[in-house]
Amino acid sequence: MNFNVRNKNIEVTDGMKTHYENMFLKLTKFKEFHNDDIVHLDIEYNKVDFVINASIDIIGKNHFLKATIKDNDFYNAIDKIVDKLLDQIKKIKEIKTDKKHKQSFAKTIDDSMENEIIE
């Protein structure tokens, strides 16, 4: 995955970088994601509320996912974003499998109807 990171009022350390890279590489186990996907990560530290606003956009060949989160801790924010993205991926996979099941179910009904007509 190609990472584009924009940070505001916060400096991204090497530890932070390795954390978000490792967390987002978990998403590559799904066939919807590839190493060619572009990941836009926006990190903003709000000095007034002492909150980190993290937003991520993943742009792939056939998909676009977006998640945002507010948290006091950077590492928790990244973990929560990955959880949100995993939920979105699961929802997409369920929709795809539902469509396949509907098509196969409709096909079996059509086949059974043809068998009844022939008999």
- Provide the H-helix boundaries in 1-119: 14-25, 74-118
The amino acid at residue 37 is D
pTM check: above 0.75: no
The amino acid at residue 90 is K
- Residue (of 38, 67, 49) closest to 9 by Cα position: 49
Query: Which residues have C-beta within 8 Å of that of residue 9, sequence separation ≥ 6?
Result: 44, 45, 46, 47
Looking at residue 104, its pLDDT comes to: 56
Residues 45 and 52: beta-carbon distance below 8 Å: yes
The token pair that represents 55 in the structure block: 């937003």
Whole-angstrom Cα distance, residue 10 to residue 43?
Answer: 8
The amino acid at residue 34 is H
57 beta partners = 40, 66
Looking at residue 59, its pLDDT comes to: 83
- Residue (of 100, 81, 31, 86) closest to 60 by Cα position: 31
Point out the residues of the chain with pLDDT beneath 70.
32, 34-35, 99-119
Give, in words, the CATH class of 2-85.
alpha beta
